[in-house]
Structure 1
Amino acid sequence: MRHHPKTSRVLLSAGAALGLPAAQAADAGFIEGASATLQARTYYFSRDFSDIVGPNRQSKMEEWAQGFILNVRSGYTPGPVGFGVDAIGLLGLKLDSSPGRANTGLLPMQDDGEAADDYSRLGVALKARFSQTELKVGELQPNLPVLAFSDNRLLPPSYQGASLTSSEIAGLTLQGGHLKSTSIRNEAGDDRMQAMLGAVPLRQASSDAFNYAGADYAFNDKRTSVGLWYGQLEDIYAQRFGGLKHSEPLGDWVLGANLGYYDANEDGQRLIGDVDNRAFFALLSARHGGHTFYVGYQGMYGDHGFPRVFPNVSPLGNEVPTFQFASADERSWQVRYDYDFAALGIPGLTTTLRYLRGDNVDTGKGFEGKDWERDLDIAYVVQSGPLAGLGVRVRNAVARSNYVSDIDENRLILSYTWALF
């Protein structure tokens, strides 16, 4: 691996900062194993509300923002136990906003109702590896069935704590962790974690501990995997998950299944009161050439909607950009069609069209809640030329309900990633 002199000096300085001799750091792979990327992300987000339900009378959210995401990862020092460090730097800049159109989740909100002009964060995680087991302490971005990575705005969220991942047995991955605080998608600082039930944030209580443990086992030439997970937002809720994924070639087709079941209840001091939710989802797929067809079913059971850490999405089969279809007692269906234009000789161009409909919602207002959503996504990554690697994504969503506000939504996302070393 060849380094420019300036880059090498920077990397050797990083090794020295960790107390490593320069030669040892380089020879052991602390430097050779290092990588860094910088992503620029321009994000336009617009939501128009009609038939407004609830106390918030804001009729429109619309903002532009520019984000930068720097990821730096070292290799490991030599010896039976290798040590390293990861760092992430985030910067968000306001391009366009106003008090009447703010609060899209792209930018922090100030006390005067204005969106902040900028916000930034630097996080570091120390890591240690023994054999196929890795411990990380510091800034983390887990992606778990009980805590999904929700990078759906300008900058990604992160958590502060410790995680342990082990893959000592072929096909089996074990994970566990303790998280003590979070930096949500449009905030720079650390804060305690809050919960949501369905789409309703519960701001009256917070927790300084999210604990998790889980196991995933892949077999059948990795075409089949099963998972068992546990997550606890301490003193608020505890949740268990079991899942199955399978992929089956059948002639020119590939059939797929993604099945999952969640069970949740209140925890410890019950800071938000009782929590009673059981959720089942099944998402089936069939792929042929550039075409992929999906059909999905999702059911909520119990007295409450699906619990998750605010403001995360969830890995439920019918979770989509605008509505969650995860309210108390809700039943929902989904049909979806994806097409990859590489099959027509246009690599980099993909589309997604989906329609979801839910009913049987316990609104607590004496009537049955119903909702539906239609989404269209078009994405293209430039394949060659001076703009190679530039990604463009357009998303349009129409969502209607008889118990929450109707939404017309548009997003435009431009992204480009530089590999620094």
Structure 2
Amino acid sequence: MTRKAPSLPLLSCMLAGSWIVSDNALAALLDDSKANLELRNMYLNRDYREPGTATSYGEVWAQGFIARLESGYSEGTVGFGADVIGMLGVRLDSGKGRVNGASGGGGIGMLPLESDGSPVDDYSELGVTAKARISKSTLHLGTLQPMLPVVQYNYTRLLPGTYSGGLLTAQEIEGLTLHAGRLTEYNLRDQSHRQDFPNDIDSFDLLGGSYAVNPQLTASYYYGRYDNTYKQHFAGLVHNLPLAEGLNLRSDLRYFQTDYDASGVGRNHFLNGMFTLSAGAHKFAAGFQRMSGESVLGVITGSDPYSTNLSTYWTFNRQNEDAWQLRYDYDFVGLGIPGLTFMTRYISGYDIESSAGNNGKEWERNSDLVYTFQDSTLKGLRVHLRNVTYRAGQVTGPGAVDIDENRVIVSYTLPLL
């Protein structure tokens, strides 16, 4: 596989600058440094409920290692530093006939594949990020993992995806956080190399931020432009309303408008939201979405859509798709078992436009049981059991294949500094 080194001259200059400092400045930089190693063991099996296809069952078991080193900043008006992330994925069990998807399934997406379709034994990535700080503003150049409404890196398999580029974050005004950035390359969750965006797309640019109007209400706006493919506006509101002792109502509203420039597809409107009532150890939630227009929601390569209906298997962002969701969470601390949590949700999408017609339907059900060890010996060890059922009714396109799936994720983060 082709490996591409970062092609940002300024990154090298800043890296050099971060070390050409006085002994006192270097000591401050090292004193604020932190490092950890995340061990992530993941098993996934997927039963494709599509009789007569070449691949009806997928199964992968692998071990991931994710090392992160984050330096502090050198002293001075402008502080310099550097972050490093190193990732290694090792196949424990799988084979050529168990990693490819059924018709329309798109594969499991957990390990890179050889030219003959068999999974690799291991894969890795090394990312370096130079950073600078002035007052309460920071600039990061290099490997990035943004979590913003217009772009979110994916971490739903063994190793997380990454991007290359620059991101400026400013927090000079209390309650206001601003972002501006450009992404030029991406690395998918099941790849070990960075690459240019497809279809001759040079970059993705973003600008926006969020403002805490008061402790209960936060408003946000972001703009994104995916080169000559689309431009996108996002507006969001999050409100927390205390109702009584131990009772709270959270409202999360999100709206996207995507305009396609060169493709001629047109405009997309996407409104979605979630209302969550917290009552002690219980959470009851209801979500909705309304999709309209001549296209689908714009999402850049490698990113998850910022949708309340983003689920374990599917994204529910097909053309003109409306959807609703019911969700329940329980924290077993209410029964005297701290560290144990449960979640189940059901999402139903309908009125989907596809080649199969304009009344397509699909639904997904997820159930999660998570336990994080609390005692001193195994403290921080996390066991995550996940069950997924997805059904596509009169829908064609990516992912439109019935599946039953189980995942087991065991993770532990070991502090190094």
So what's the TM-score if we normalise by structure 2? 0.90
Corresponding residue pairs, total: 390
Using the alignment, how far apart are the partners of 2:335 and 2:253 within structure 1?
A: 32
Using the alignment, how far apart are the partners of 1:385 and 1:143 within structure 2?
A: 32
2:76 aligned to 54, 76, 79, which one?
79
How do 1:246-395 residues align onto structure 2 when only pairs under 5 Å count? 246-252=239-245, 253-267=247-261, 270=262, 272-395=263-386
Partner of 1:6 in structure 2? none
How do 1:85-100 residues align onto structure 2 when only pairs under 5 Å count? 85-100=82-97
Alignment of 1:193 onto 2:197: yes
Alignment of 1:69 onto 2:63: no
1:216 aligned to 184, 187, 210, which one?
210
Alignment of 1:416 onto 2:412: yes
Q: What is the CA deviation profile of residues 40-74 of structure 1, one whole-angstrom value per residue up to 9, with x for unaligned ones?
A: 00011122111379xx8532221011100111011
Q: Counterpart amino acid of 1:256? A: R
What root-mean-square deviation, in Å, do the aligned CA atoms of Structure 1 and Structure 2 show?
1.8
Alignment of 1:407 onto 2:400: no
Using the alignment, how far apart are the partners of 1:193 and 1:320 within structure 2?
A: 25
CA contact 1:266–1:276 (8 Å) conserved in 2: yes
Partner of 1:144 in structure 2? 148
Using the alignment, how far apart are the partners of 1:70 and 1:123 within structure 2?
A: 10
How far did residue 276 of structure 1 move? 2.9
Using the alignment, how far apart are the partners of 1:238 and 1:57 within structure 2?
A: 40
Structure 2, unpaired ranges of 5+: 1-14, 100-106
Paired residue secondary structure (2:333): helix
Taking a change above 3 Å as real, the CA distance of residues 149 and 17 of structure 1, as seen in their structure-2 partners, is closer
CA contact 2:50–2:56 (8 Å) conserved in 1: no
Q: Counterpart amino acid of 1:187? A: Q
CA contact 2:225–2:231 (8 Å) conserved in 1: yes
Using the alignment, how far apart are the partners of 1:84 and 1:17 within structure 2?
A: 5
Partner of 1:36 in structure 2? 35
Q: What is the CA deviation profile of residues 10-37 of structure 1, one whole-angstrom value per residue up to 9, with x for unaligned ones?
A: xxxx9998233444311xx201110001
Aligned-residue identity in percent: 39
Using the alignment, how far apart are the partners of 2:316 and 2:357 within structure 1?
A: 19
How far did residue 410 of structure 1 move? 0.9
Using the alignment, how far apart are the partners of 2:334 and 2:371 within structure 1?
A: 14
Q: Counterpart amino acid of 2:30? A: I
CA contact 2:187–2:302 (8 Å) conserved in 1: no
CA contact 1:52–1:405 (8 Å) conserved in 2: no
Q: Counterpart amino acid of 2:227? A: E
Taking a change above 3 Å as real, the CA distance of residues 182 and 52 of structure 1, as seen in their structure-2 partners, is farther
Taking a change above 3 Å as real, the CA distance of residues 206 and 346 of structure 1, as seen in their structure-2 partners, is farther
Partner of 2:387 in structure 1? 396
Using the alignment, how far apart are the partners of 2:264 and 2:325 within structure 1?
A: 32
Partner of 2:187 in structure 1? 183
Structure 1, unpaired ranges of 5+: 1-13, 195-204
Taking a change above 3 Å as real, the CA distance of residues 24 and 261 of structure 1, as seen in their structure-2 partners, is closer
Q: What is the CA deviation profile of residues 261-290 of structure 1, one whole-angstrom value per residue up to 9, with x for unaligned ones?
A: 1010213xx2x5525311000100100111
CA contact 1:230–1:241 (8 Å) conserved in 2: yes
Paired residue secondary structure (1:31): helix
Alignment of 1:18 onto 2:19: yes
Using the alignment, how far apart are the partners of 2:68 and 2:141 within structure 1?
A: 16
Q: Counterpart amino acid of 2:61? A: W
Partner of 2:157 in structure 1? 153
Using the alignment, how far apart are the partners of 2:222 and 2:24 within structure 1?
A: 42
Alignment of 1:131 onto 2:127: no
Using the alignment, how far apart are the partners of 1:163 and 1:264 within structure 2?
A: 22
Using the alignment, how far apart are the partners of 1:411 and 1:263 within structure 2?
A: 34
CA contact 1:92–1:155 (8 Å) conserved in 2: yes
Using the alignment, how far apart are the partners of 1:96 and 1:207 within structure 2?
A: 36
308-317 or 320-329, larger mean C-alpha shift: 308-317
Using the alignment, how far apart are the partners of 2:401 and 2:328 within structure 1?
A: 26
- Give runs of ≥4 in structure 1 deviating > 6 Å: 14-17
Q: Counterpart amino acid of 2:41? A: T
Q: Counterpart amino acid of 2:378? A: L
Using the alignment, how far apart are the partners of 1:72 and 1:49 within structure 2?
A: 40
So what's the TM-score if we normalise by structure 1? 0.89
Using the alignment, how far apart are the partners of 1:304 and 1:250 within structure 2?
A: 40
